[in-house]
Structure 1
């Protein structure tokens, strides 16, 4: 039996010498090639959870396992896409992608070839030699996601990746991410404040309580893949949206 891409076992986290509890015995798994989303109220510990998985913080209690190995408190086991694209401004768009491939051990010439091939696949071939500042916010996030997708780690953490985009661009990016992920599946844990985004993209949704956070409910998303762009029109979509909204109240 294949080990989960990610397994959290009774994760606890407190600050201020134990006076502020943020996570209260949180356990979850992400299976191989599964897309899982976490939704929860502001201040429920979603960002702290990502810092723990990435090894930037130590849990107060519990264990973190990635690909069957205990990695609690250690770094380098995940690829990460932040809220802002965080592309290196002094590197061209292609060079930003080549860096991820180089870290994965790819020879420089092949990394350059593949970077341009992938930029062509996502519709940004004409920007390969441009610098990130000439790209729109949505374009920058495409490059940021591609960089995470091509990193060697099997687990991707997406931290509100479209939160800074306007509503129309965000909707377009959700559709784009869904199509790219369905063609090139990886294990993904997404943090989002958007219930619609979670329903559109995910296989499962974990609803967190306010801090100290526990999982209130796990919702298995019943919609077949590939997902329809008109999914939000379905009555069940809106029923689930309302159910999650009520849990977050």
Structure 2
């Protein structure tokens, strides 16, 4: 379980202190999918950098499975906005790299990578290089690499933001199908209310500067989810409610 307790972060620019995050409390239980949504520039990516140990906290603590990991690296799997695949490695070797870094020998890692690529419909691209992949394919490989990392918690930072609307929809449905088989703990940053409602068990709504948690929404839809949710009255009521929260004074 991930626990953020009173997390705060400020930056100094030209002698002026800019408070980005204030007293953030967020919990992600084992096997839970939680999304963070907030206005642009509200510090969502900064929050991920703090969880990943890439910068120190000013206030608060970050705990994972009963261990204080504040300022420590190597405890989470991370999927960035861009796929960031190594261009000199084949698709299979890019996936196998996550397993090798976790301690698997090269032969076993390549074999597992081959099997997983077949499972996610990319077996025919196993020997290809990343430049031959579409944006959606590249993000599938990136997600697979994070999924096969040994860490129990995955951080997904706006992973489909650069994709066109139709590809993004297909990727959301694909991610759901893969996640349902594994149920890793996931914390997702997104600007899309639809995406948060489709994927999540809970949604944390942030204000703008400094970002604070202004609401926690328990998503009421049963799993497995389907795109038919978009036409339901409850879905659209929740979407409108979150939109209004983001537009409220002090939120955006």
In 2, Cα distance between equivalents of 1:49 and 1:84: 18
2:225 counterpart SS class: coil
Tell me the TM-score normalized by structure 2. Answer: 0.96
Instruction: Give CA deviations for 1:188-215 in whole Å, capped at 9, x if unaligned.
Output: 0000000000000000000000111110
1:114 aligns with 2:99: no
**1:141 equivalent among 114, 139, 142:** 139
In structure 1, distance between residues paired with 2:227 and 2:208: 31
Q: After superposing the two structures, state which structure 1 stretch, 11-20 or 49-58, moved more.
A: 11-20
In the TM superposition, what is the alpha-carbon distance from 1:103 to its structure 2 partner?
1.2
Pairwise CA distance, 1:142: 0.2
CA contact (8 A) 2:95 2:145 kept: yes
* Whole-angstrom CA distance in 2 between matches of 1:18 and 1:111: 49
- How far the C-alpha of 1:23 sits from its partner, in A, is 0.6
Q: Take 1:207 and 1:132, find their aligned partners in 2: how far apart are those partners?
A: 35
Match of 1:206 in 2: 204
Unaligned runs of 5+ in 2: 248-252
Give deviations 1:10-59, integer Å, cap 9, x for gaps: 00101117711011111110000100000000111101100100111111
Q: What secondary structure, in the 3-state scheme, does the structure 2 residue paired with 1:222 have?
A: coil
Task: State the Cα distance separating 1:76 from its structure 2 match.
Answer: 0.6
Runs of 5+ consecutive residues of structure 1 not aligned to the other structure: none
1:15 maps to 2:25: no
Work out the number of aligned pairs and report it: 245
- Aligned to 1:246, which of 237, 244, 247? 244
1:192 match: 190
TM-score of the two chains, using structure 1 as the length reference: 0.97
